[in-house]
């Protein structure tokens, strides 16, 4: 069993605010589509589709953000065991101000692309990039990024210094 180094749990207030905003958007779009329908039927279908999509994403975000992200000596994974980024595949960790990353989060660059995945509000993986953060607290996410950076540096240092 891998030793757990850090657990990143979502912030409950952020989860609630995210849910309320997405549900409000979905209901507003549906309200516009039915009470004030546009002149063309295509726009009404578009509004209905976007409203339903916002409600579905709100549900997925609420469910997805209920599972914590765990950093152990094997890499990053969800609390339920879903592998996010194994330590052997991590090339670098980026917390730069202007990098394309989630809110209060960080970006991981991988050596090989394991496939796309997305848990709204927690993490995403597109190509060789993984974004961690969203509804997580900034201080906890920073600690995880620092620990992960240290692990990658330890792994990559020359044999002479180990």
Could you tell me the residue range of the domain that residue 44 belongs to? 1-162
Q: How many domains does the chain have?
A: 1
**Structural tokens at position 147:** 């620990």
> 96: exposed, middle or buried (C-beta count within 10 Å: 0-12, 13-18, 19+)?
exposed
In this predicted structure, what is the pLDDT of residue 161? 59
- What are the residue ranges in the chain where pLDDT is below 50? none
Q: Which of 99, 115, 117 is nearest to 107 (CA)?
A: 99
| Torsion of Cα atoms, 85 then 89 then 92 then 95, to 10° | -10
Residues in CB range of 15: below 8 A, 6 or more apart: 61, 62, 65, 66, 121, 135
């Amino acid at each position: 069993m891998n030793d757990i180094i850090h657990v990143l749990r979502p912030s409950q207030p952020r989860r609630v605010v995210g849910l309320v905003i997405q549900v409000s958007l979905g209901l507003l779009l549906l309200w516009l589509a039915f009470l004030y329908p546009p002149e063309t039927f295509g726009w009404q279908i578009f509004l209905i589709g976007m409203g339903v999509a916002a409600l579905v994403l709100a549900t997925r975000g609420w469910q997805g953000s209920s599972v914590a992200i765990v950093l152990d000596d094997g890499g990053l994974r969800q609390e339920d065991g879903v592998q996010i980024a194994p330590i052997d595949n991590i090339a670098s960790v980026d917390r730069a101000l202007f990098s394309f990353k989630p809110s209060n989060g960080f970006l991981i660059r991988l050596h090989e692309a394991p496939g796309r995945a997305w848990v709204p509000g927690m993490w995403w993986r597109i190509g060789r990039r993984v974004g961690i953060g969203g509804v997580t607290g900034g201080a906890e996410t920073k600690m995880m990024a620092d620990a992960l950076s240290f692990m990658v540096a330890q792994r990559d240092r020359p044999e002479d210094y180990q």
